[in-house]
Amino acid sequence: MQNILSPQETSLAKKAAYLVLSHFDKSYRWFTRITRGAQQRFEKGNWKETQLASRERINIYEQSLSDAVAEIYHLTSVHKKDDVFWQELKKIFALQLEGHPQFELAETFFNSVIGRIFKHRKIDDDMMFVHPSRCFLPGQDRDKVINSFDTTTTVREMYEAIFKTYRYNIPFEDYERDLQNLEDALRARLSTSQLASVQAVEILKPTFFRGKAAYLIGRICMPDETLPFVIAMRRYNAPNMFVDALLTDRKDLSVIFGFARSYFMADTQNPAEVAAFLQELLPNKKNFELYMALGHYKHGKTVFYRNFLSHLETSEDHFEAAPGIRGLVMMVFHLPSYGVVFKIIKDEFAESKKITRQHVKDCYKLVKMSDRIGRMADTHEYVNFRFPLDRIAPELIEELKETCASSLEFTENELVIKHMYIERKMTPLNLYLQQETDEDKVTNALDELGMCIKQIAMANIFPGDMLHKNFGITRHGRVIFYDYDEICLMNERNFRALPKSDDPYAIDTLSVGPSDVFPEQFEHFIVGKRKFKDILKNLHGDLMTQEYWRNVQIKCERGDVQHFTPYAASKRFKRD
């Protein structure tokens, strides 16, 4: 006999569904208000406020979720409701989303509410949106997110039309120069016949703000190809702005949307359409990566999970320990055919690690809330994540049991990991340096390593454990830091000169405080081989001096906000 809710229970389910959607809508209005303020912060040069706004926007979701769950508990005795109630709640909620411009984000919010109530132990498509409730057809709202510009005019007239549409309450440093630079760059990129064949120039309506930069992101449509069309704008502390570059290569756009960068502030009421447009520009990016780049990191996690389930259905390889030297704090494994790694905090740490499990979580949260400046990989936290047992290599299961048993729960067919992080897969730098034979690539990697350490420090983060095994290298040759268990703010360390001794490794332990750091020792630890040490010292010898680190501390204490351009210096326009 089929279970049917009573009229009273149905009414209660309707109230609960309305309550959840109301909290989502309130959350998105809050998200939009902060995002919309990015233009004014850019125009006024309020860089500290920009960083605070970024952190506040990340915190919105958890606050809204907690409020929604608290009201659900106030509305009814949730644990006295059977599955039929929650299934009906989902159906009612899905009906409410008809025509909702952020329906996909609302589904994720609903999932979070159900997940919080059941402590993420009921991943059931009858009760939550494991799969989306409807198929989104890209293009149906395209006119709401793009501006199209007339290409029958001259190149200069097209640019003038663009800047009449996208206006900023701040003067250009040299408007005529910037227009000429843009025109010259486009003519250098396209031949005369290609320019004549351009059918459309489309630009997303929101300006993409991040740090001290603003981007107009679009595309040039020709009969045989479509190119990215990105106008990168910058400003310093002076009361003006300037066009810094015109980017038409997908590689440059891919780096701008890289997983080691902070989330954009891009104001839109149609995020699915914006993500779909970006996907057409960046077909090698996963849809979940684009949602995360837009600041919808919670929905990005949902889309990742769906992508993960789909990949499991179309692959046959087994989960195994990730290549590289085993970490002292994290157990890391991967699916060779999939582009992420899974990281679990170990039950016990080596004696050299004077930290706790909570400390590790706090460090990962610090990175999440900081400007990652293109040098620190974004990580995403999951609880009670399920893996099919028959896809896990037996050796990995044994190693997981030995290192992090308290985080594991086994069912008949699944391994449930109670807490873990996912992170974009990279080649560990130590493995790359062992395998690479091209001297130029090796030198570039070591130069990137030094720049990575320096830029992280300028972002007010001391990396702590700077062994090169804790860094990865991307397919674009960029070095990224990904091991956060020893990071801290720059003012939490005391950079000292090494006490003089005949033994370079000997330190009088009685005169060393817990926060003392000796930069002269870095050359012995960052990289191993003498050849690599010499290259790193030649390129970034200042890293091994206390003066360098103290100068960075002074800048951080002063509150200087740095900006690191995500594209090559060769792409930047010359300025007087």
Q: Would you name the residues annotated as active-site residues?
A: 378
- Can you give the length of the chain in residues? 576
- ∠ CA 222-228-233, nearest 5°, is 135
Across-strand partners of 480? 472
Q: Give how far Cα 58 sits from Cα of 23, 299, 376, 389, Å.
A: 16, 12, 17, 34
Could you write out the DSSP letters of every residue in 2-39? -----HHHHHHHHHHHHHHHHHHHHHHHHHHHHHHTHH
Q: Which two tokens stand for residue 273?
A: 């359409």
Across-strand partners of 343? 332, 421
For residues 327 and 421, the answer to whether their CB atoms sit within 8 Å is no
Question: What letter represents residue 231's amino acid?
Answer: I
- Please state, in angstroms and rounded to a whole number, the distance separating the CA atoms of residues 349 and 364: 17
Q: What is the helix, strand, coil percentage profile of the chain, to 5?
A: 50, 15, 35
Buried b (16+ CB within 10 A) or exposed e, 19-36: bbbebbeebbebbeebbe
For residues 123 and 48, the answer to whether their CB atoms sit within 8 Å is no
For residues 179 and 156, the answer to whether their CB atoms sit within 8 Å is yes
Q: Which two tokens stand for residue 572?
A: 């930047």
- Please state, in angstroms and rounded to a whole number, the distance separating the CA atoms of residues 79 and 122: 13
Radius of gyration of the chain (CA): 26
Q: Which two tokens stand for residue 357?
A: 């499990």
The conformation of residue 561, written as its DSSP 8-state character, comes to: P
The conformation of residue 490, written as its DSSP 8-state character, comes to: G
